[in-house]
Chains A and B, each alone.
Chain A
């Protein structure tokens, strides 16, 4: 079975540019999560969706960050304008809805803002 698919795997861009990260969850999973991981702060939850609806975006650092889930098989995380401090690895994860269900992670996008 295909796991969570993220693209691109690596992104290098200059500050001020728009960055769009993409995620395809595991088929049948109805919860989707966006995380950011840095050495300093570890793994942080940015936002999560349930049945394509944003449930909690309290982890989104600021208005420069936005996320959408137009359908059950696709989500985007956008940063506009990007800044060097946004450099991190961004992970997408998905799970079945339900309190006991574990999350399965994609391979991540390594983002570098110059």
Chain B
């Protein structure tokens, strides 16, 4: 089975702290994604990556950065956490198809971040 593992299920941080959210997938997928999910707003794409060292901004990249040094690992970084970044963060991965579209998407269990 495909496994997407997020390093922390629950985090509590203070305003201004630097936060790292780690995600590892074990199926050699090219695509990796970071979403945040908030009540009433649904899932919103923060960043995605289709290859090592490649990254693309999603719909809401402000306040976030990402790192993909190895194919299996995609990290989300909050340089200076703010209270409006309190959310559920979801990592996902997929195979890339011949037409360069995403195949079936597999999600991790999520990381619930609270910024005080």
**Does A associate with B in a complex?**
no
